[in-house]
Chain A
Amino acid sequence: MSRRNAILLVIGLLLIVAVPPFSWWWEASLVRHMLLQIPLLILAGVLLGAFVAPRPVPGAQSKQTEAAAAVLLAAFCMTFWMLPRWLDAAVGDHGVDAVKIVSLVLLAGVPLGWGWVRLGPVARGFVWFQAISMALVLGWLYAAYPDRLCNSYLVSEQPVLGMAMFGVAAFLGVVGVAIVMIGSGDHTAAAESATAS
């Protein structure tokens, strides 16, 4: 993807999911909030980090550890906004919501995209696997938890989100297997960056 297209896509994404009053529509439902708005905000950041930020230079000193740190930063940021109380706070308070939107783009998406294009295949596989298990754990939590996790949402939405999370896990699993089967061995960070730019 060219830098220009990535920037246009990011602007488009943010206009749709991050700008009030549209953002409120996404946040009116637990499923839309968790499974569409938050992932799309992260995606906007990923595009910035992977296609707009400087690309890894082939042959330069590997930045595996920095890349891993960046992905870890993204994981912490996503975990924070998955705490039910902060999801609630974002719904009830526009200030918190603004922090959520900015941090998910800049502290989750950007480092994830920046780190992902620098990580080697093993590390990528590990991250992918973690994402699947995270989706399964969250799916199980939301599907089985009897009490309300979020005061702002109906308890009846929780099992729906749980099932959708299982769907996400299955989707990630299928895509992961497909990438391994199709991408026949030459999926190193350098090769990926060469084809992508």
Chain B
Amino acid sequence: MNGRGIVSMLLVLLLGAAALWWGSDGFTAFTAENARRLEVERSPRPLPAVALEDHLGAPVSLDDLSGKVVLLDFVYTRCTMICVALGQEFAELRGEIERSDLDGRVVLVTVSFDPEHDGPAQLADYANRYGGPDAAWRFVRAPAERETRQLLRTAEVTVVPDGFGGFVHNAAIYVIDPEGRLVHIVDSDASDEALELARGLI
């Protein structure tokens, strides 16, 4: 034991603990998924104003939806796993919204992150599997690859090729407030929670 050794030991303990504390948001977020959810709740972020188009190829802007709460998800239409579950979740959500006083004040938007494959026809096809598009549920894509990436980066969606021609992605429901800011991210099967949050934003 000597003075220098003890001082360096204490310094390492202090700095090491501080680094881990900082790197896990005070030991609350160990995964990127938790980290992005916390980050979004702490500081809501505006979605980039990208040019979208719907299942008819008509231009759509998220600005058109300002004043409404948007529940948004990212899918690719060839997906056979999580996006199907998300589709069913959104179909149920649409039913609940249309039966309640939220109709017209909460809008569902499904965004394809695979614009190369998903044209308007594929979007329409995907929409028809869940009862088709209407005012309460829009199906869109950002035709420009660059703008799709911009959207994904803002929402911190990571898309990884699954090696079989499809993708793996961190699916979730994104809650956008009436000012167009991403304010919450919830699990893809937590539609009740998403609806509750939406209600709180109106």
* Residues in A lying within 8 Å of B, measured CB to CB: 61, 63-66, 68-70, 72-73, 75-77, 79-80, 83-86, 88-89, 92, 148-155
Assess the B4–A150 pair: CB atoms within 8 A: no
User: Which DSSP category, helix, strand, loop or mixed, fits chain A's interface?
Assistant: helix
Given contacts A63-B5, A65-B8, contact A85 B29 (CB under 8 A): yes
From B11, which residue of chain A is reached at the shortest CB distance?
A69
- B135 partner residues in chain A, CB cutoff 8 A: none
A-B contact count, CB below 8 Å? 84
Q: Give the segment of B16-24, B62-70, B88-96, B120-128 that binds chain A.
A: B16-24
- B163 partner residues in chain A, CB cutoff 8 A: 154
Q: Give the segment of B30-38, B44-52, B106-114 that binds chain A.
A: B30-38
Chain A: minimal CB distance from B41 (Å): 16
Assess the A72–B16 pair: CB atoms within 8 A: yes
- B61 partner residues in chain A, CB cutoff 8 A: none
From B34, which residue of chain A is reached at the shortest CB distance?
A85
Query: B158 in the interface, Cβ–Cβ < 8 Å?
Result: yes
- B168 partner residues in chain A, CB cutoff 8 A: 154-155
Assess the B2–A72 pair: CB atoms within 8 A: no
- A79 partner residues in chain B, CB cutoff 8 A: 16, 20
13 intermolecular pairs with C-beta atoms under 8 Å apart: A64-B5, A65-B5, A68-B5, A70-B12, A72-B9, A80-B23, A83-B30, A85-B31, A85-B35, A148-B31, A148-B33, A151-B158, A151-B160
Complex Cα distance, B34 from A65, in Å, reads 37
Assess the A92–B160 pair: CB atoms within 8 A: no
Complex Cα distance, B13 from A75, in Å, reads 10
Query: B1 in the interface, Cβ–Cβ < 8 Å?
Result: yes
- B160 partner residues in chain A, CB cutoff 8 A: 151-154
From B29, which residue of chain A is reached at the shortest CB distance?
A85
Complex Cα distance, B6 from A64, in Å, reads 10
Q: Which of A61, A68, A85, A88 has the most CB of B within 10 A?
A: A85
Assess the A83–B24 pair: CB atoms within 8 A: yes
Complex Cα distance, B30 from A86, in Å, reads 8
Complex Cα distance, B5 from A147, in Å, reads 42
Complex Cα distance, B16 from A66, in Å, reads 15
Complex Cα distance, B9 from A74, in Å, reads 12
- B16 partner residues in chain A, CB cutoff 8 A: 72-73, 75-77, 79
- A68: contacting residue among B9, B30, B170, CB under 8 A: B9
Assess the A88–B5 pair: CB atoms within 8 A: no
Chain A: minimal CB distance from B156 (Å): 8
Complex Cα distance, B31 from A30, in Å, reads 14
Assess the A151–B5 pair: CB atoms within 8 A: no
- A155 partner residues in chain B, CB cutoff 8 A: 168
- B20 partner residues in chain A, CB cutoff 8 A: 76, 79-80, 83
Interface residues in B156-177 (C-beta closer than 8 Å to A): 158, 160, 162-163, 168, 170
- A75 partner residues in chain B, CB cutoff 8 A: 16
Assess the A76–B12 pair: CB atoms within 8 A: yes
Other A-B pairs beyond A84-B32, A85-B31, 8, CB < 8 Å:
A61-B2, A69-B9, A72-B16, A80-B19, A84-B30, A85-B32, A86-B23, A151-B170
Complex Cα distance, B160 from A61, in Å, reads 54
- A152 partner residues in chain B, CB cutoff 8 A: 32, 158, 160
- A68 partner residues in chain B, CB cutoff 8 A: 5, 9
- B31 partner residues in chain A, CB cutoff 8 A: 84-85, 88, 148-151
- A85 partner residues in chain B, CB cutoff 8 A: 23-24, 29-32, 34-35
